[in-house]
Amino acid sequence: MTLPYCKCSNIPYFVNTSRYNNNYVQLSLPSGTDHLRTQDKSMKVQKIIVIHPGSLNLRIGRAGELNPITILHGIGRRRKDSHQYNTEYHDPLQPSTISASSETIQEFEESRLHVSHSIQSHVTQYEDRGGGAKRLRIATPPQQIATFNRRSLPEELPFDSAGKSEKSKMVKEDVTTTKQLKENIFDEEILMLGANEIKDYNIHFPMKRGELNLHANVGGSFSSVLSDLESIWAYAIENRMAISRKSLEQYGAVLVINDVYNRSVLKEMVTLLLQRLRFRACILVQDHVCSTYGAGLGYACVVDLGDQKCSISCVEDGISHPDTRVRLGYGSGDVTQVLFALLKKCSFPYKECNIDNDYSDAALIKNLKEQYCHLNLEVCGAQEKTFEVRKRTKRLRYTFQMGDECVVAPLSLFHTELLNITGKPKLVRLQIRCSQQSDPEDCFDAEYIRETGRVRNGRGDQLLDGVMPITGDTPDDELVVVDNFDVDDRLANVRNTDKEEQIYYSSTSGQIVSIDLAIVRSIDRCLSDDLKRKMYGSILLVGGGSKLNGFSKWLEQKIILHVRSGENLPHEVNVCVKEMDASMIAWKGAAILSILDSAQELWLLAEEWEKYGLRILREKASFMW
């Protein structure tokens, strides 16, 4: 089903509540449900909740609100010491680093030197804005910065508990008081956990690298992850949006999903929304499609740089082209680890900082990255910075220097060898083929049709994916079962094709490609030259990791170099950055889409899901199932 498209001139960038007070989204009911038609079939805009889950943050809010509520997409469950199988487990806030060895340290240092030299060769002179004179860009050596940082001592400040927010004071008291531990903790309560308090809880982040965080440890099963999602979303709805869970039967949910999706996961997500959380209806929309709606673009190559993944796809008229979809296993969180490694090399004065086991320290380094990292080469030399650390009853202020570390760290997205400190090789996810996502409940599934409708026609031809079988007067003896060796050969061909596509996004040395080269290769998979030209001219940057100063200009220049060096005619390259929070563009687009009159046929009712199951999801999905 093609998603209805509306031009940007008719769509506001945000939903004005006063304007849509009298607007309703009509819900269509299927035939055979006349007993439901006597009920209220309309849904107010204020009764629509838009949910955008991510690896780090959850953005949730009413469709009629200007901005969503953003909370940490994690949960802490109190450990029962009496249970012999209740082992300790903590998902890190940032991607974990691999164990340091002499080989990895040497590789990281060589990569750092290579990036530093590329900075110097990229631009050697620039105009001084004050007098117009030109001077060389001189970088401060790390040894000089390390000398200053080693001499820097923390300044102890008076611990003013009144200066903290009431919510933060309450969180600290609740979490650290061993006599009154909560069963579950969320959001800031997790971020305030130190290395001593963390032992009382198992910390779970249900999503990792843009997909469900399934693992072999405690809380890593499919059912456990879904239970964590239910608890986090219910907490946000009840405690942050002040909506009782019992009243969700009056609300509709819009769930923003990844462009690279798995059908079985989407099936469980719908069950979670309609049967466990008890929403009245739901819509599933892809995040890149929502981004084009939120940015007011009819077509774009959407680049979503999140905390733990970077996803790319080409969207045209509300449709994400499957062949162009790719999800790379690195993101802004990996940049945080690179920055921390560079700071430690420069004798970072906060020696006790441990971002793997202390969530407050991880949040600190993340904030330093967001505040100080940039790609503006006009800024050079040692820069003096300060930050504060609160530990129990102490409040310390540290002063340190940074040089090109704040430039080298974000450049790791273009020189992925630096990212090997968080693991190698990085995952590359492409859209799973229909033949590999069979479901026994779906009677129109490609695998089901192939196995039940294969006809012997003398040549041994097989039905293509999604083609209906020949029915009618066909004799029973002509209907045969697919041979085992045919299935094995077909699966082997699929695996070989997938392996070739994985290699497509890797370098000759097996290293995952940089973000600029991944964009070029994604656009090159478009079917026509005209579509490629359109995508190069409209590259949309979204996601929290893309908000670094100078990142869009640097990315544009790198893509231009790739296009000019290619065999095809050069295209005009334009990287678009909207004047809004890049991390909220997809959420805003989903809110806009949900209030359109043309989106009424996309609503999937709870009664329909209970009666028809996966068949109705195939019919009402806004993307190619």
Q: What's residue 435's pLDDT?
A: 65
pLDDT of residue 425: 78
DSSP-derived secondary structure letter, 296: T
pLDDT in tens, 185-205: 999 999 988 778 888 899 999
Name the least confident of 4-18, 136-150, 322-336.
Answer: 4-18
> Which stretches does DSSP call E strand in 445-582?
539-542, 575-576
> Residue 606: pLDDT above 80?
yes
Is the model more confident about 104 or about 434?
Answer: 104
Instruction: Give helix then strand counts, H and E, for the chain.
Output: 18, 25
Question: pLDDT, tens digit, for every residue of 329-357?
Answer: 999 999 999 999 999 999 999 999 999 88
pLDDT at 600: 87
303 part of a folded domain: no
Contact between 122 and 356 (Cβ < 8 Å): no
* DSSP per-residue codes, 106-128: HHHHHHHHHHHHHHHHH-SEEE-
- pLDDT tens digits, one per residue of 21-73: 334 444 444 444 443 333 344 568 899 999 999 999 999 999 999 999 999 99
Lowest mean pLDDT among 46-55, 57-66, 125-134, 247-256: 125-134
Give yes or no for residue 398 having a pLDDT over 60: yes
Report cis status (omega within 30 of 0) of the bond before 570. no
465: CB partners within 8 A, 6+ apart: 433, 434, 435, 446, 450
pLDDT at 258 over 70: yes
Q: What pLDDT, on the 0 to 100 scale, is given for residue 498? A: 58
For residue 61, the SS3 value is strand
The answer to whether residue 371 sits within a structural domain is: yes
CA distance 357 to 339: 17
Mean model confidence pLDDT for the chain = 82
Residue 150, pLDDT above cutoff 70: yes
Tell me whether residue 67 is in a domain.
Answer: no
More confident residue, 509 or 24: 509
Is residue 149 domain-resident? yes
Please name the helix (run of DSSP H) or strand (run of DSSP E) that holds residue 222, with its range, or none: helix 222-235
Nearest C-alpha neighbor of 447 from the set 479, 500, 490: 490
Distance CA 620, CA 71 (A): 30
Lowest mean pLDDT among 119-133, 216-230, 274-288: 119-133
pLDDT category of residue 422 using cuts at 50, 70 and 90? very high
Q: How many CB atoms lie within 10 A of CB 608?
A: 23
pLDDT of residue 192: 87
Q: Report the pLDDT averaged over residues 209-219.
A: 94
Task: Round to whole Å and give the CA distance between 387 and 396.
Answer: 8
Q: Is the pLDDT of residue 162 over 80?
A: no
* Residues forming a β-bridge with 411: none
Residue linked to tokens 């102890």: 156
Interval 277-284 mean pLDDT: 97
Coil, strand, or helix at residue 573?
Answer: coil
> Which pLDDT score, from 0 to 100, does residue 30 have?
43
Q: What is the mean pLDDT of residues 113-119?
A: 89
Residue showing tokens 């509520």 = 69
Those residues whose C-beta lies under 8 Å from the C-beta of residue 437, and which sit 6 or more positions away, are 262, 263, 264
Nearest alpha carbon to residue 293 among 320, 271, 264, 274: 320
Provide the 3-class DSSP secondary structure of residue 411.
Answer: helix
- The backbone region for 409, taken as left when phi is positive above 0, alpha when psi lies in -120 to 50, beta otherwise, is alpha
**In terms of Cα–Cα distance, which of 582, 95, 519 is closest to 326?**
519
Q: What is the pLDDT of residues 431-464, one digit of tens each?
A: 887 667 777 777 667 666 777 765 444 444 544 4
Residue 370 falls inside a structural domain: yes
- Number of neighbouring beta carbons within 10 Å of residue 418: 25
Could you tell me which of 269, 278, 271 has the C-alpha nearest to residue 245?
278
More confident of the two residues 285 and 451:
285
Q: What's the CA gap between 94 and 20, in Å, rounded? A: 40
Residue 170 included in any domain? no
The verdict on residue 17 lying in a domain is no
pLDDT (tens digit per residue) in 572-603: 999 999 989 999 999 999 999 999 988 888 99
Number of domains in the chain: 1
The pairing of strands 299-305 and 539-542 is: parallel
Other beta carbons within 10 angstroms of residue 38's beta carbon come to 7
Residue 437 has a pLDDT of 74
Q: Is the pLDDT of residue 110 over 90?
A: yes
The CATH number that applies at residue 366 is 3.90.640.10
- Contact, 564 vs 30, CB < 8 A? no
> Which range of residues forms the domain containing residue 376?
102-126+133-157+333-422
Residues constituting the chain: 625
The pLDDT score that the predictor gives to residue 199 is 87
Residue 385: pLDDT band by 50, 70, 90 thresholds? very high
Residues 6+ positions from 621 with CB-CB distance below 8 Å: 1, 284
Percentage of the chain surpassing pLDDT 90?
58
Asked whether the predicted pLDDT for residue 100 surpasses 50, the reply is yes
Cβ atoms of 142 and 160 within 8 Å: the answer is no
- Are the C-beta atoms of residues 311 and 331 closer than 8 Å to each other? no
In a domain, 413, yes or no: yes
What is the mean predicted confidence (pLDDT) over 129-141? 61
Three-state DSSP class for residue 139? coil
